[in-house]
Structure 1
Amino acid sequence: MRNVKELLIFLKYSLTVTPLLAYPDLKKPYVLYTDASNDTIGACLTQPCEEEETHLSCLRKEKPIYFLSHKLSDTQSRWSTIEKEAFSIHYALQKLDHYLHGAEFIIRTDHKPLKYLLLSPQCNKKLQLWALGIASYNCKIEWLAGTDNTIADYLSRRPPGQEGNQNQSETIEVDISDKAFQINTLNSNKFNPKDFASCNKL
């Protein structure tokens, strides 16, 4: 019983001292980390920390705004590596559009060919389509070593024992679906932020 009380005290203290997610600052640029594994993609949206924000659990002197993880369908899991890595950027931009639309940000990926995605002509139709979507944002793509892309890499790994639970009966492929594991305070699957911004549903 004593251990339970000590654990509760520790948890309460941790929640008051170390926020897991921070509110975005519209005056600062964003950094979007993305990664893909065999059957899952992950992303982390961050912003630079100020000197007075040292109490936050900053990642590389950055504070996390949003974590995103998404399980690929059976068909998507058979895509090539560059398609999976490009889709992780495309998917993250679609889910985080209410943060990134009109904002300045950097996309960081550990897949080096994606650094030239917006600069080189593409023969692959999927890559062409996603490159056009990415080009509509005020962003640039940077490469970083896989050992430095730890947050997005972790989010692109499925928990042990769940790797073989793919639904083999999926027949309809959708570009953006509701199979995201939401790890934030607002569940963007439940509403369209653009409707609220334009007051269409008020």
Structure 2
Amino acid sequence: MGKIVYLRLKNKVEAKLHQTIKLGDIALVSAEDEIRKKLMNTELYEIKKEDRNIVIIDVFRVIHQLSQRYTNLEFQQVGPNQTIINIQKPKKTSSMVFVTLIWLLLYIGAAMAIMNFHYDVSMEEVQQRLHYLLTGEEVKHPLWIQVPYSIGLGVGMILFFNHLFKKRINEEPSPLEVEMFKYQQDLDQYVILHENKLVKDQSKDDTSNS
């Protein structure tokens, strides 16, 4: 019985086109230093143009390749069963005109949403009524209520999203970040189920056998 080597695949990594993926790029290895260094440099896969955006590396394939090359070692898997490799593409410089149009679209859309909400709940009438209850006077534009309310609305949104431009206010994730994290998890699970080449090959084999 050979020496035991423990492998833990990383959930997600990034790579470039034509990059050769080594074991150390996608996994954590627990073994003796000499064996570990040798394993970390073991080449497993080369990113090809046909792979497009995503490649799934399955732990079964990894162990199969390693077992053929290192017959004196026994490999044990710990953790995730697949690694998602996102293939990076050269970034294009964004046009200022395009960025400005997107910014205006988002700004106007957010303003319309807030205005429509206030119209639906009759916010102006509520503020006028509140002013009357507190002062006994009827005023069309109670600015001493409306101005602090508008400032508070902006501050509240900053605190809710936990960001001021690119600066994070504290380490607690915002509700938007939590929802994006959940969405990314569902997306990764979908990709694993539909893009895993091992699963595709098995499906082809089952079809041909039947």
Instruction: Give the TM-score normalised by the residue count of structure 1.
Output: 0.27
Structure scoring higher RCO (CA < 8 A, sep ≥ 6) equals: 1
Instruction: Give the TM-score normalised by the residue count of structure 2.
Output: 0.26
- Higher share in helix: 2
| Bigger Rg, which one | 2
